[in-house]
Amino acid sequence: MRLPSLHISGLGYPFIWLHGMLGSVESDSVYSMIDFKRVSEIASVIRYDSCGKSVTGDYSWNGMTDELLDIVNHHKFGPMILGGTSMGSGTAIHFAVRFPEKVKALILVTPPPAWEKRQGVKALYNKIAMKAEQPTMPDFLRRLITLNQDPPDFFENEHPGTRQLLLDFRLGFDALYYPQIYRGGAASDFPAPEEIEKIKVPTLIAAFPDDLNHPLEIAQKLNELIAGSEMIVISDYDGYLKFQEKIREFLIKVGCDNKS
Query: Cα 142 vs. chain centroid, distance in angstroms?
Result: 22
Band (246; pLDDT cuts 50, 70, 90) = very high
Is residue 92 within 8 Å of residue 18, measured between CB atoms? yes
Q: Which of 7, 12, 8, 31 is nearest to 260 (CA)?
A: 12
Please determine, for residue 260, whether its predicted confidence score (pLDDT) is greater than 80.
no
Average of per-residue pLDDT values in the chain: 95
Whole-number Å distance between alpha carbons of 53 and 174: 8
CA 82/CA 108 separation, integer angstroms? 9
Give the list of residues 6+ apart from residue 65 with CB closer than 8 angstroms, or none: 91, 94, 95, 98
pLDDT at 234 over 50: yes
Q: How many CB atoms lie within 10 A of CB 250?
A: 18
| Helix pair angle (139-146, 119-131), 10° resolution | 140
Which H helix or E strand runs over 70?
helix 61-75
pLDDT tens track for 64-100: 999 999 999 999 998 999 999 999 999 999 999 999 9
Kindly list the distances between the CA atom of residue 119 and the CA atoms of 180, 218, 250, in Å, as whole numbers in the listed order: 19, 14, 34
- Give me the helices (H) in 117-231, please: 119-131, 139-146, 153-158, 162-170, 177-186, 193-196, 216-225
For the chain, the helix, strand and coil percentages under 3-state DSSP, each to the nearest 5 = 50, 15, 40
Percent of the chain residues past pLDDT 70, beyond the cut: 98
Name the band, by pLDDT with cuts 50, 70 and 90, for residue 259.
low
Distance CA 236, CA 157 (A): 10
Which residues lie below 8 Å from residue 73, measured CB to CB, with a gap of 6+?
Answer: none
CB atoms closer than 10 angstroms to residue 186: 21
Taking alpha carbons only, the member of 124, 67, 121 closest to residue 94 is: 67
Hey, what domains does the chain have and what are their CATH numbers? 7-114+190-253 (3.40.50.1820)
What pLDDT digit, counting tens, does each position of 210-226 carry? 998 999 999 999 999 99
User: Which is nearest to 83 in space by CA: 252, 203, 240?
Assistant: 203
Residue-wise pLDDT for 139-191, tens only, equals 999 999 999 889 999 999 999 999 999 999 999 999 999 999 999 999 999 99
